[in-house]
Amino acid sequence: MSAGGSFGGSRGARPVPPEKGVFPLDHDHECDVEKKEYLNCLKVAGHNSGKCREFSKKYLQCRMEKNLMAKQELSELGFRKEQETENSEGKENGK
């Protein structure tokens, strides 16, 4: 006999939600254009997501505008302000 609950879980243990929570699927395809642009960029860039940051940013902004995810500052999602990004890229390129 097993001491765990159904599907191997232990009884009485509370599930822990993900840190950022879950967001609804885009059933109405409201952000399909942005999603497709991002996925196409990933294909072209050899799945290097750093080269597709502008597309992922547009996709996340679309999701926030359409209430498909909680609204929050893009800096909290790993995006820096435009000027900061340009300055760090210039330093990396030796400018």
- In the numeric block, the tokens 């990933």 are attached to 42
pLDDT one-digit tens code per residue, 27-65:
899 999 999 999 999 999 999 999 999 999 999 999 999
Determine the average pLDDT of the residues in 9-24.
66
Q: Are 19 and 70 in contact (CB under 8 A)?
A: no
Averaged pLDDT of the chain: 79
Query: Cα(54)–Cα(43) distance, rounded to whole angstroms?
Result: 15
| φ/ψ (deg, to 5) at 68 | -95, -5
61-68: Cβ within 8 A, 24+ apart: 62/30, 62/31, 62/34, 63/23, 63/26, 63/31, 66/26, 66/30, 66/31, 68/23, 68/24, 68/26, 68/30, 68/31
